[in-house]
Amino acid sequence: MPPARRVPSPNCNARPEGCAISLLVIHNISLPPREYGGDGVEQLFTNTLNAHEHPFYATIADLRVSAHFFIRRDGALLQFVPVGLRAWHAGVSNWGGREGCNDFSLGVELEGCDFEAFAEAQYRALQDLILLLREHFPGLALAGHQDIAPGRKTDPGPYFDWSRLNA
């Protein structure tokens, strides 16, 4: 996507043949947890996270995950995976009766957590991204990670304002 800073992630692969993109999954992430502005997310998605830098990192350093996009608190947009490829963001998931949401979705991570509000700049950047994506993928549905993996995931969490996004 043109306005994004590109940071290639190896944690992706080809989508199944003929699988159309129909869903945008909204997540939240902060590394270390509840701390913002660092390089932890970028390092996690590029498999360069130093397990010794923070106690929490030792528990996740071996994960091989990614998302297509990451929106920082100031609204800066990073792109880790091209939209034509499958990012590894959803895990075990189901949407509209379809299993394996990574196959047909795009993932966007918001820098944040389940315990505090997101920044106005993030909502603006997310709205702009959705408008741009819908030009290429008309009818793109929106869901939270909590919606496609209930009981397993809680993000983007109770402080994500869906009505503000849809306004």
Query: Average of pLDDT values for 114-124?
Result: 97
pLDDT tens-digit readout, 27-55: 999 999 999 999 999 999 999 999 999 99
Domain 5-29+65-166 belongs to what topology? Lysozyme-like (3.40.80)
pLDDT band at residue 3, thresholds of 50, 70 and 90? confident
Q: Is 109 a catalytic residue?
A: yes
Domains in the chain: boundaries: 5-29+65-166
Interacting residues of 59 by C-beta distance below 8 A, sequence separation 6+: none
Q: Is the pTM of this model over 0.85?
A: yes
Q: Please, what sign has the CA dihedral across residues 114, 117, 121, 125?
A: positive
Which residue in the list 53, 109, 111, 116 is annotated as catalytic?
A: 109
CA distance 36 to 60: 17
Give pLDDT tens digits for 55-73: 999 999 999 999 999 999 9
